[in-house]
Each structure stands twice: as structure tokens, then as C-alpha cells.
Chain A
Amino acid sequence: MVTTVQEKKEGASAPRPQFTNAEAGALEFPSSTSREYNYYKPARLRRTVYEDVTVEVQPDPEHYLSQGWLYAFADGQAGYPQEWTVLRSSNWHAFRDPNEEWERTIYVHSARVVHQIGQSIENARLNKAFARWDPSWVRQVEGHVGAWAHAEHGLGMHVFVPAQRDAPTNMHNNAISVNSMHKLRFAQDLILYNLALSEEFDDFDGARHRQVWMQDPAWQGVRELVERLTAIRDWAEAVFVTNFVFEPLVGVLFRSRFVMQVAAPHGDFTTPTVVGAGEADYARDLRCSRDMFALLVNDAAHAEHNRQTLQEWLGRWTPPAVEAARRLQPLWSQPNQRLVRFEDSFGEADTQYRSQIRELGLDAPEEA
């Protein structure tokens, strides 16, 4: 065998390196210094790597797509129809993701998060920190924190993944796909945390989260709202309502105003770490959505139409979100240590919701 390998190596040829002097600056000729993508206008003075790898990758017949789209759906719609949302824009291409997400940032960020969560859980395990948890709190994490994983998964898989097919530019769709991965990763973080806790507590019921999500009356408002969000056809409505209505009134309420406040007094420092990662991702996604919708409410030609539409969406979706939030109220009285009142928590969530809506130049419905 060895002989065969040696013979093959000796007999095989190899490409010969050649000096070609084909490096930049070796010669001056027309366009020899044209070293920028010249088919788009950067948002600021200097173009960014994010823009270079994102802008115009998805073609547009209103830009350079001279032959038009080559395939259509059965109804004749092709490519990325602007009509897939009722919102309008004079220039969809003006949007840039303020987080400048591209391949490198996506993986650096998410890898860092999963490392951080893994280390935090491992530290708690090594220090036997789980043994110091208040037993009443264990039940909360088992049922309610576990139930929240479903909400994140449902929104990630059936709101954001489909929305990234539909928006008219690559900048929108890449940003929305990153939003979806935040949700899906956070859902997995939570459910795998549930698995880790099943191995730490003898009486931890790793399946109870499902029963709570499907049957506990406190959660049925949230589940109904999540399911109804997944049924929205208009990509912009689905993204807007999720990030500007559901998230502040229900998501932040549960994650920041309940879990993050109540865990530590019950001896739990790991759950806030896990949940905090999801909260930080929402802050990142909100920043992106804010820029996305601010352009539309300030559009030179369509501002009024867009404002009216967004107001209608707020009017339609805020009441069920408030209802879903209020139905979570029993959770606040279940742990032994009752350090925060539901009304206070909800009040803070409502304030944040109103502030985010105001920043867009919109009015929150009175009812909230």
C-alpha cells in the first residue's frame, strides 16, 4: 500500500506557480483605481462592509433589472412584489440595518451568546447554585419560563422566517432573517435550559412547559396572540406588530418585568442570564425595526398613508396584546417572594410601549 501511494505521488503532476504580477497598482490604465462598488449610494460618506455585501444583491426592476423577473407565481406576481405589504415607500432601498448584520457579525454575536449561557449554567452547576433556589421558584421556571420558549419559537419560525421572503430589498430581508434567528436561538436556549434543569432537580418536570403553554388559562391569551400573529399575510404588519406591540406589552413584561426581577431574590442568578440574552437580542431587533418603520412614517410621498395604516394596526392589535398581558397576572403572585406588583410591572411595560410608539410619531391607543 505504501509503495502504491509513493508511486502515485511521484507520477502525479502539480500546477506550477507562476509570477503574474496581477496585483493592484502594478499598472495604470482606465479604471485601475476603481475599487469601490459603484452601483449604490452609501448611507453615509464612507461605504461599509455591511452595505457592500448586502445592497443590490436582491435585484429590483426599478433599479437595474432590465429583463424583469424571469419566473412568476401562478397569479402572475414575481420576484419581490411591493404589494406584499400595504405600506408604501418612495424608496425601499434607503433602509440600512443599524446593527449592520452580515455573516461575520451574526456568528460572532450568537456564538458569544451561547458560550456565555453555557458557561453561566456550568458555573451554577459546579457551585451547586441550583440547590439554593427557592422551591416555589423552581415551579415558575419549570412551567412559565419553559412556556415562553414556545412563544419565541412560534414567532421566529412563523412570523420572521416567512417575512424574510417577502420584503422588497435585501437589506430588509437579511435584517428580518437575523431577527428570526435571534428568536429561534433564544427558544432553543430556553428549552435546553429546561433540559439542564431536569438533570439538576429530582422533581423538575421537563414536560410541564408544554402543558402550561397549551392549557394554563394564564397563557392562553399569549398563545392566541402568537398564533394570530403567525396568520398575518402582510410581512410588514407581522414584523411591526410583533416588535412594537407584542414585544413591549407581553415579551418585555414577562422577561424583564417578571423573570429578571423575581429570579434573584429566589436564589437564581442563571435564569436572568439566559433570559437576558433574549432581551438584549430584542433591543437589537427593535433598533433595526425602528429604523425600518421610521423611514416609512417619514416617507416623502406616503407618510400619511403609512401613519394611518400603522395606527390601524395599533388599534387592532393593542387590545389583544393588553388582554394577553393581563391574563399573565396570576404569575406575579405565585412565587414566595412578591417583590413586584403586576400593576407596576405592566405600568412600566406600557410606558415603554408608548414611548416606542411615540418615537415613531404615532399615537398609542387609549385603551393600553
Chain B
Amino acid sequence: MSRQSLSKAHEKIKELSWEPTFATPARKYATDYTFEHAPKKDPLKQVLRSYFPMEEEKDQRVFGAMDGAIRGNMFRQVQERWMEWQKLFLSIIPFPEISAARAMPLAISAVPNPEIHNGLAVQMIDEVRHSTIQQNLKRLYMNHYIDPAGFDGSLRYFHSDYCGTIGRQFGEGFITGDAITAANIYLTIVAETAFTNTLFVAMPAEAAANGDYLLPTVFHSVQSDESRHISNGYSILLMALADEANRPLLERDLRYAWWNNHRVVDAAIGTFIEYGTKDRRKDRESYAEMWRRWIYDDYYRSYLMPLEKYGLVIPHDLVEEAWNQIWNKGYVHEVAQFFATGWEVNYWRIDPMTDEDFEWFEHKYPGWYNKYGKWWENYNRLRYPGSDHGPIAFEDVDYQYPHRCWTCMVPCLVREDMVMDEVDGQVRTYCSEPCWWTDKHAFRPEYQGRPTPSMGRLTGKREWETLYHNWDLADICQDMGIVRDDGRTLIPQPHLDLEDPKKLWTLDDFRGHPFPSPNVTLNAMTPEERQAFADDYRKGGPAGRPKDSAEEFRRRVEKVG
């Protein structure tokens, strides 16, 4: 279809909508935003006559590459360290994708603009495409990669695992609560416009460096649909900005969406890229460098800041703090260390770090070894089962098991930032002030004295450990189903050595390790005990050091200068 005929066709399909006179579409999803003064903004021109053949052509290329990968024995060259993390990533991502499809009626219902409705309906089927193509990629990995365990039970584990849940909130954030908060600001303005850059561009590049060229093939095909979605979101944002009454809601939602995306996506993708790779070339970009390029420069400076002239209040402080977290507070390293601490209840294997890894981290993040090196050496030392030790989470390795953030559900890993408060009759911990604010003030029926009856609520058993308070570790693993088909060997392992069965941890190695819930324990304390605990907790870190050890660490660092 020529450009000219596409424009004509686009104009013509606008004739399809009409103002109903007998009955109006059911208002299923509420919003506190108003669009009474909004000028109608057109998103990108999208006509199904050209859309379907275009997508079919993209599919041909994807499926051709899949065939090629199998015929060319791609799996002889993929790094197991990388592929293991895909068991987590590909268990998570099809759900946010399909949630984005389900989010489209929320936006359609809220925004009175038929031109945008067309774009959103096309986005809906795009998202069905993304979800199923990703499930299919995982299926191929399961069929052709050496260790299918973890891929085989993927969605069962995703729905019941502490890491999966962190990712699941990302998708649930699209489909629930205020229609514009969820389907526009959280999904499109922040998740798709900012963070798909690291999800679907930066991460696939790392996959290729680890011998896996199928992930880039599939995810770049997915990413090529995102520009249309970004255009949909931008049009709705401009319409919302036309109404003065929306400004405080936009400010609230941008703060929530930005910070939650940062906490969730940077935790996961940062870990995959930094700790899931074997590519330790000194001139390859670190996650921090990628973030600076894709998020800070391309999104924040080029997309978000220009919106200030339309009256949008940009959360500059939170953008700078996100960078501070990544660069100065070691957020990604803290998360990776936590995932490795909790290897016992994962559904993938985590490779120990080697001297080459240490050297790369020190080169990219000066001071890394002093903070994290010793712990990873312990991880390496404890990687095989033995009668003299249990799994690392139960050994004395100078690591205090963290409390979980009630809002983003990533634990409170940057210890100094932890906030404790009694909310809804329960003592909760938060990883940071913005996450505390999200629960305490943003997701409430009133905001800054203004009724916000459409705003969603945080629900669910948000601390995973509560489910298994004081259960024996072996029983937890059995309940989660993360046991291999011999009925005793575990799917998760803290190494990649499959050759020797003696090196593989079994349920028997886990017996006798009760697993208490930090939140249940916290709520059982007296107020004085709790306060003392929180004060000590905030003095801990980095790398999970308890207070005393942390103070010793800081003294040493100050001495060295």
C-alpha cells in the first residue's frame, strides 16, 4: 500500500464510528481522569489491510530463523548460564504481554476518541501475538536445550514463585484499577515507552553474545510493534493534559509508574544482563551504561522532559534516584545476590561467578569486589551439597535475609532506604520511600484531599514467605513442584554441573531447614523490638551485611579512602 493510499484509507476508516443514540457502550472500567476539554489526537495511521500482511511477513522471518537455529544446532553454542535465566524471564513475560491486550478495553472505555480506539484495538491483537510467540519460543528452548526442567513447568512455577510474583505485578498493573493509570500511564507511557528498550533491545543483544540468536529474532520482532503502541499512549497523554483537573493525577501516576517499573524491570533485566552473561569483554556495555543510554537519554531526556512544556510534572527526583540506585547503591548487584541466595526455591540454575566475572565487575563498577566478592566466593564454596553445610541461605555468610517490600515485592535490599510503617492494620516494610508512598497515599480512594474512587488497591498475599512460614525447606520445594522427575533431585541448583549426580542437591539435603517469614516475625515483635530491629536493619549492607559487619565494612572503606 502506497503512503498516499494509506493516508486515504486511514481517513476513510474514521467514518466507521458514530455517535450512538439508542444506547452507549457499557462503562465497564472507571477512571478519575476527565477528557471533556480534550482535543482529539490521532495516533499513527493503522489500517488492517496493510497491518496483517506486514505482521505475517515478520512472522515468516521469525519462524525461518527458528528453523535455521534448529538445523544449525544453535544449542551447541548457547551459554547455559544465559539459558537458565530464560526459564525465569520467559515464564514471566507472556503474562504482561497478554495483560496489555486485556488492558486495551480499559483505555477504549476511558478515552472518547474513535481514532485512538482503532489503534488500541490493533495493539490488542499485537499483544496476543507477542504473548503466544514468546510462549512458542520457550517451547522451542524446552525441546532443544540440554536441561528442560524449569521450562517444562514454567507457568505453574511462575504463578507460585517469589520471583515470578515480582514480575506478575508488572502485568497486573496494566489491567486493574483506574483505567488511565493502568492502561495508559503505567503500561504505555512508562513500561512500553521507557522499559521495553532494556527488555526487548538491550537484553536480546546480550542473548546474541551468549550464542542465542532466537531471543533477538523474536523480541526485535515484538519491539517493532512498540512504536505504534507508544504513539497510542502519547496521543492519550496529550488529551489528558488538556484538562487541568488531570494534572495532579498525572503527577501521581507518573511517580508510581516510573518507580515501580524501575524497581521491577531493572531488578530482573539488570540481573539477566549482568549475571546471566558469559560475555566479559571490557568494552561491552554494562547494564548501567545501557540504562544511561536507553532510559536516561532516550526516554527521560528525549521523550519525558519535552512534555514539561505541556504542563506535565516530571518526577526528576525519582529518575535521578533510580540512577543513583543503579550506579551508587548497587541495586542490580543486590538483587542478583538475593536471587542467588534464594536459589533453593527457584526453577532455574544459577552459575557461580568466576575470576573473569569478578574482574569485569570491578572494571565496570569499581569497588564491586570489596562489597560482593566475598559473598560470591562463599556461593562458589557452597555450590555442591555436603554433610558439613546446608544451602547458602542457611549458612553464616555475612548475609541478613531481607524483608520484602510490600509494594514492589522486591526485597528491601538497599538497607538504608527501608521504610517501616503500620498500614491497614499491619506492619509493613518498603524498599524505599516512593514504594511506601505508593501504598500509603497513591492507591487510595482519596489523593491530596480529592476523591479518587476509581483508583485500584494493593491486594494479595504480597509477602511470599508468609505462605510458608516456618515450613521445612524440603516441603516448600515439594509443594511448589520444583523437583525433577526422579522425585528427589531439585530443579534449582547453585551451579551448572549436571554430569555428576552427587553434585546435584536433593530434597534430602534440604530437610531440617525451617523457613520463617520476615513479615510474620516482624508483626509478632513488640513495638520497641520492631523499632530496634528497623534501626539495625537500616545500618546493614551493602551486600546484605548485618549491622555490625556493615559498620566494620564502612570503617575499613573509610580507612582505605
Contact = CB atoms under 8 A, between A and B. Distances in A.
A150 B79 contact: no
B448 interface: no
Contact of A70 (B30, B144, B156, B459): B459
A228 to B, nearest CB: 5
Contact of A52 (B135, B153, B211): B135
Contacts of A290: none
A108 B457 contact: no
A141 to B, nearest CB: 15
Interface string B63-102: 1000000000101111110010000000000110010011
A38 B153 contact: yes
A145 B290 CA distance: 53
A63 B283 CA distance: 46
A70 B26 contact: no
Interface in A32-91: 32-39, 49, 52-59, 63-74, 76, 78-79
Contact of B456 (A73, A113, A154): A73
Contact of B281 (A13, A55, A228): A13
Interface string B95-131: 1001001111110110000000110010011001101
Contact size class for B? 35 or more
A20 B80 contact: yes
B169 A70 contact: yes
A165 B120 CA distance: 13
Interface stretch (B16-24, B326-334, B424-432): B16-24
A108 B176 CA distance: 32
A79 B176 contact: yes
Given A78-B176, A162-B26, A231-B25, A24 B144 contact: yes
Interface string A184-206: 11011101101100000000001
B393 interface: no
A188 B10 CA distance: 10
A352 to B, nearest CB: 26
Contacts of B282: 13
B388 interface: no
Interface in B205-239: 208-211
A26 B146 contact: yes
Contact of A104 (B12, B59, B456): B59
B460 A111 contact: no
Interface residues of A, number: 104
B386 interface: no
Given A22-B76, A36-B152, A224-B22, A187 B16 contact: yes
B501 interface: yes
A89 B22 CA distance: 33
A221 B22 CA distance: 10
B50 to A, nearest CB: 8
Given A52-B136, A56-B156, A103-B128, A74 B53 contact: no
Nearest to B32: A74
B278 A18 contact: yes
A74 B136 contact: no
A207 to B, nearest CB: 7
B176 A107 contact: no
B461 A67 contact: yes
B9 A70 contact: no
Nearest to A13: B281
Given A20-B80, A31-B484, A210-B15, 17 more contacts: A15-B284, A29-B489, A29-B499, A31-B485, A52-B136, A63-B159, A71-B459, A74-B30, A74-B177, A161-B105, A165-B175, A170-B98, A209-B15, A228-B23, A230-B20, A231-B26, A232-B26
